[in-house]
């Protein structure tokens, strides 16, 4: 099982600025994956981006990128050019080789200000 | 698109009642999960299942049980509901291990 740590309970960011949400992980698995989810106030969990432990390139999906630093065990989410609609809870999650589900961090509440 | 459907969006139950939360997925996924979400604690895994009739305890199984009689359906059971089980419950499914999990819309359960 993994341990996922998100150290930023809340963040305020000006619209159009870039945002970095921190995530560190701890696992003994050789093969693992890291995920980011967005949860707006409506409550649904929206998958944003995935990084595999053996992927050599950092994952990118549109305005989202994952800054994966294996030696530091960090998997930070970067949102470029933030928008008001980015205001939400963001969860980092990790999964190992077994079928035992994803382990989630406690989340970061991001608020984008106009 | 994968769809994970939870039977209720909101539920209010009395202390001591037996409560069933139902979850159905339509993409033939092997793995299904039940999480509970509480403010400041993130999502915590209650139970998961990787096959029909198979179940494994997650991090916080006490006070809960599950049933998976069919591949597409995974039920969470609160044997005797208590006020500390008031929470948001999220069901999820994934095709195989270590892949994206797809979530239902959540059930907000209040035990009074």
pLDDT in tens, A7-41: 999 999 999 999 999 999 998 888 899 999 999 99
Per-residue pLDDT of chain B (112 residues), as tens digits, is: 669 999 999 999 999 999 999 999 998 999 999 999 999 899 999 999 999 989 999 999 999 999 999 999 999 999 999 999 999 999 999 988 778 899 999 999 999 9
CB-based contact A101 B100, cutoff 8 Å: no
Provide residues of A within 8 Å CB-CB of chain B: 6, 9, 31-33, 35, 37, 43-45, 47, 50, 91, 93, 95-107
**Of A83, A85, A94, which is closest to residue A23 (Cα–Cα)?**
A94
Backbone torsions φ then ψ of B83, nearest 5 degrees: -60, -30
Q: Give the residue numbers in B contacting A (CB under 8 Å), as ranges.
A: 30-31, 33, 35, 40-45, 48, 50, 56, 58, 88, 90, 92, 96-103, 105-106
Q: Where are the beta strands (DSSP E) in chain A?
A: 3-5, 10-14, 19-21, 24-26, 33-39, 46-52, 60-61, 64-69, 74-79, 88-95, 103-104, 108-113
Nearest to A37 by CA among A84, A112, A104: A104
| Closest residue on chain B to A107 (Cα) | B42
Handedness of CA B49, B53, B57, B60 (dihedral sign): positive
A43: chain B residues, CB-CB within 8 Å: 88, 105-106
């Amino acid at each position: 099982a993994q341990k996922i740590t998100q150290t930023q309970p809340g963040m305020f960011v000006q619209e159009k600025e870039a945002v970095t949400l921190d995530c560190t992980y701890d696992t003994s698995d050789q093969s693992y994956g890291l995920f980011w989810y967005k949860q707006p106030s409506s409550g649904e969990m929206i998958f944003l981006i995935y990084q595999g432990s053996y992927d050599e390139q950092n994952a990118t999906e549109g305005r989202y990128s994952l800054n994966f630093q294996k030696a530091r065990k960090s998997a930070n989410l970067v949102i470029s050019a933030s928008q008001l609609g980015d205001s939400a809870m963001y969860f980092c999650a990790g999964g190992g080789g077994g079928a035992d589900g994803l382990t989630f961090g406690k989340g970061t509440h991001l608020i984008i200000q106009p | 698109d994968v769809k994970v459907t939870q039977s209720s969006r909101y539920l209010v139950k009395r202390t001591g009642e037996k409560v069933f939360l139902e979850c159905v997925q339509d993409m033939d996924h092997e793995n299904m999960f039940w999480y509970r979400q509480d403010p400041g604690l993130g999502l915590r895994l209650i139970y998961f299942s990787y096959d029909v009739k198979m179940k494994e305890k997650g991090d916080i199984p006490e006070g809960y049980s599950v049933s998976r009689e069919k591949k597409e359906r995974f039920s969470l059971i609160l044997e005797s509901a208590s006020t500390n089980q008031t929470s948001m419950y999220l069901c999820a499914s994934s095709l195989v291990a270590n892949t994206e999990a797809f979530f239902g819309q959540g059930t907000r359960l209040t035990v009074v």
